[in-house]
């Protein structure tokens, strides 16, 4: 009996998106993954080596709210392949998961290495080629993939090159690239916080270069499309009746009193900055100075000059979503060309959202290519 010819699919990029797409395609198609590096290398540092696979939010609209770029586009993607489907897939390949208190989901092994190993073991019907893709061209009904090694022909292409390189491959097909910028990064500041280095409050960590920590990563993500410099204002104390606190502790030093609310070194920092002796007793602080201290604490202004590559830096920007069909991940400009993962103009907050984007968009592309 004649065997049905399987369609040949090239996945360009063997990161989480590319490999997940291959994993969902390999039974139906003849899949080749191209990567200039060993596959799934980018998975290893995720979640500090623990791999924050996903986030425990199963309502697709709520989940999509965690993406400053891509929210609406992801509605139909997540409604078809969301967190629950992702966890089921991983369970099937031997990766059991657990939900942390903050709703982030990790493998029980707490090991990105283990997730990589299991995913690669599952990809036993996929061919991996360690080649750099230089060009992709239309060739008849299919595509020609030119690498630094040779030339290959495929029926379909999945572009999963991530957020660091490879945009020119999409541009050659007429796709527009929204200017890539770092998000989820630390920020370099105009102010010198080196004396506070290591001090952390309200999710802000002071560093030698500026500020970092979860609150800062989120700001760098929300404001990723803004030009530097920009000002940020932090409220480090909330709505405290400062006058009453000072009046009821008249003999306590202002430093010790503030240390009930913020780290002692930070209290000293802002007192010196406002020209107040940290050893001064509370009752000796006049009304104007009290107002000044409170206003600094409630409205702590920082000028961000640029990003610093720490944290789980992702790329904001990439292939314009207007040119991709969210139901199939197929290019609206070139039939047979698909996208998944960070190469697209989609990025989420810290918490497993960026990998979830990879798993979900990769799976939707695979379903469309396999004709399911
Ligand atoms: C330190 C760190 C920690 C992170 N932790 C988390 C986390 O815990 N949870 C989470 O959700 N997200 C996390 N992220 C983000 C997440 O890792 C990325 O969003 C994700 O890796 C994107 O996957 P991708 O497959 O789209 O792209 P990538 O992972 O960038 O993979 C793209 C691949 O394509 C290859 N490639 C590119 N161009 C070519 C070419 N021309 N030819 C051949 N190969 C090419 C590259 O070598 C690469 O292997 C973290 C990011 C960082 C930096």
Q: CA 293 to CA 271: how far, in whole Å?
A: 7
- Give the closest residue (by CA) to ligand 1 atom 9: 352
> How many angstroms is it from 248 CA to the middle of ligand 1?
55
> How many angstroms is it from 15 CA to the middle of ligand 1?
5
User: Contact 300/234 with Cβ under 8 angstroms?
Assistant: yes
313 lines ligand 1 (CB under 6 A): yes
Name the one residue in this structure whose structure tokens are 């990589």.
116
**Which atom of ligand 1 is closest in space to residue 162's alpha carbon?**
27
> How many angstroms is it from 35 CA to the middle of ligand 1?
12
> How many angstroms is it from 16 CA to the middle of ligand 1?
6
Which residues are 127's β-sheet partners? Answer: 32
Q: Which residue has the higher pLDDT, 331 or 2?
A: 331
**Which atom of ligand 1 is closest in space to residue 133's alpha carbon?**
42
161 lines ligand 1 (CB under 6 A): yes
Q: For residue range 95-106, what is the model confidence (pLDDT) as tens digits?
A: 999 999 999 999
DSSP 138: E
Interacting residues of 352 by C-beta distance below 8 A, sequence separation 6+: 47, 52, 53, 54, 55, 104, 105
The chain-wide mean pLDDT, for the chain, equals 95
Q: For residue range 26-50, what is the model confidence (pLDDT) as tens digits?
A: 999 999 999 999 999 999 999 999 9
Burial (CB count within 10 angstroms: exposed 0-12, middle 13-18, buried 19+), residue 239: exposed
> How many angstroms is it from 167 CA to the middle of ligand 1?
14
**Which atom of ligand 1 is closest in space to residue 16's alpha carbon?**
25
User: Contact 158/18 with Cβ under 8 angstroms?
Assistant: yes
User: Contact 315/347 with Cβ under 8 angstroms?
Assistant: yes
- Give the closest residue (by CA) to ligand 1 atom 44: 35
| 3 confidence band (pLDDT: 50, 70, 90) | low
**Which atom of ligand 1 is closest in space to residue 42's alpha carbon?**
29
Q: For residue range 175-225, what is the model confidence (pLDDT) as tens digits?
A: 999 999 999 999 999 999 999 999 999 999 999 999 999 999 999 999 999
Amino acid 66: pLDDT = 98
Nearest to 356 by CA among 92, 70, 94, 111: 70
In 10 A of CB 232, how many CB atoms? Answer: 18
Residue 302: pLDDT over 60:
yes
45 lines ligand 1 (CB under 6 A): yes
> How many angstroms is it from 138 CA to the middle of ligand 1?
26
- Cα 56 to the chain's mean position, in Å? 16
Maximum Cα–Cα distance for the chain, whole Å?
97
User: Contact 184/221 with Cβ under 8 angstroms?
Assistant: yes
The H or E element that residue 232 is part of is: strand 230-234
125 lines ligand 1 (CB under 6 A): no
165 lines ligand 1 (CB under 6 A): yes
* Alpha helix positions (H), the chain: 16-25, 60-64, 73-80, 83-92, 112-122, 167-171, 214-222, 242-248, 254-258, 264-273, 287-298, 353-370
Structural domains of the chain ordered from first start: 8-182+316-370 (3.50.50.60), 186-308 (no CATH)
Nearest to 189 by CA among 222, 234, 225: 234
> How many angstroms is it from 207 CA to the middle of ligand 1?
26
147 lines ligand 1 (CB under 6 A): no
CA torsion 263-269-270-274 (nearest 10°) is 150
Interacting residues of 226 by C-beta distance below 8 A, sequence separation 6+: none
210 lines ligand 1 (CB under 6 A): no
For the stretch 18-53, what's the b/e string if a residue is b when 16 or more beta carbons lie within 10 angstroms of its beta carbon?
bbbbbbbbbebbbbbbbbbeebbebbeebbeebbbb
- CA distances to 34, 139, 245, 280 from 286, rounded to whole Å, are 69, 79, 14, 11
SS3 category, 44: coil
Q: CA 277 to CA 288: how far, in whole Å?
A: 15
14 lines ligand 1 (CB under 6 A): yes
SS3 category, 318: strand
Interacting residues of 133 by C-beta distance below 8 A, sequence separation 6+: 12, 34, 36, 145, 146, 147, 161, 166, 169
17 lines ligand 1 (CB under 6 A): yes
180 lines ligand 1 (CB under 6 A): no
> How many angstroms is it from 43 CA to the middle of ligand 1?
7
Q: For residue range 234-282, what is the model confidence (pLDDT) as tens digits?
A: 999 988 888 888 889 889 999 999 999 999 999 999 999 889 999 999 8
DSSP 29: S
> How many angstroms is it from 162 CA to the middle of ligand 1?
5
Q: Is the peptide bond before 229 cis (omega within 30 degrees of 0)?
A: yes
pTM: 0.95
């Amino acid at each position: 009996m004649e065997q049905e010819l399987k369609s040949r699919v090239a996945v360009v990029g063997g990161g989480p998106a590319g490999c997940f797409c291959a994993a969902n395609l390999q039974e139906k198609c003849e899949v080749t993954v191209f990567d200039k590096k060993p596959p799934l290398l980018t998975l290893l540092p995720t979640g500090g080596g623990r791999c924050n696979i996903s986030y425990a939010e199963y309502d697709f609209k709520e989940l999509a709210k965690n993406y400053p770029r891509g929210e609406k586009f992801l509605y139909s993607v997540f409604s078809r392949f969301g967190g629950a489907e992702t966890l089921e897939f991983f369970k099937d390949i031997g990766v059991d998961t657990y939900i942390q208190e903050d709703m982030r989901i990790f493998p029980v092994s707490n090991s990105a290495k283990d997730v990589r190993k299991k995913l690669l073991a599952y990809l036993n019907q996929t061919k991996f080629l360690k080649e750099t893709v230089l060009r992709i061209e239309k060739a008849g009904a299919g595509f020609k993939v030119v690498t630094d090694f040779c030339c290959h022909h495929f029926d379909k292409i999945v572009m999963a090159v991530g957020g660091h390189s490879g945009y020119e491959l999409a541009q050659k097909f007429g796709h527009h690239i929204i200017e890539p910028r770092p998000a989820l990064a630390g920020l370099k500041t105009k102010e010198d916080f080196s004396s506070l280095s290591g001090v952390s409050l309200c999710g802000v960590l002071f560093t030698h270069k500026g500020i970092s920590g979860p609150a800062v990563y989120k700001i760098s993500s929300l404001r990723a499309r803004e030009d530097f410099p920009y000002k940020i204002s932090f409220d480090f104390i909330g709505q405290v009746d400062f006058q009453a606190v000072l009046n009821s502790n008249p003999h306590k030093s202002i430093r010790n009193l503030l240390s009930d609310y913020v780290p002692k070194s930070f209290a000293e920092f802002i007192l010196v900055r406002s020209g107040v002796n940290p050893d001064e007793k509370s009752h000796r602080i006049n009304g104007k100075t009290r107002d000044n201290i409170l206003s600094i604490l409630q409205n702590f202004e920082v000028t961000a000059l640029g990003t610093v590559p720490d944290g789980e830096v992702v790329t904001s920007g990439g292939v314009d979503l207007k040119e991709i069909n969210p139901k199939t991940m197929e290019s609206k400009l070139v039939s047979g060309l698909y996208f998944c993962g960070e190469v697209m103009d989609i990025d989420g907050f810290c918490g497993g959202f960026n990998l979830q984007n990879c798993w979900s968009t990769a799976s939707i592309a695979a379903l469309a290519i396999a004709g399911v």
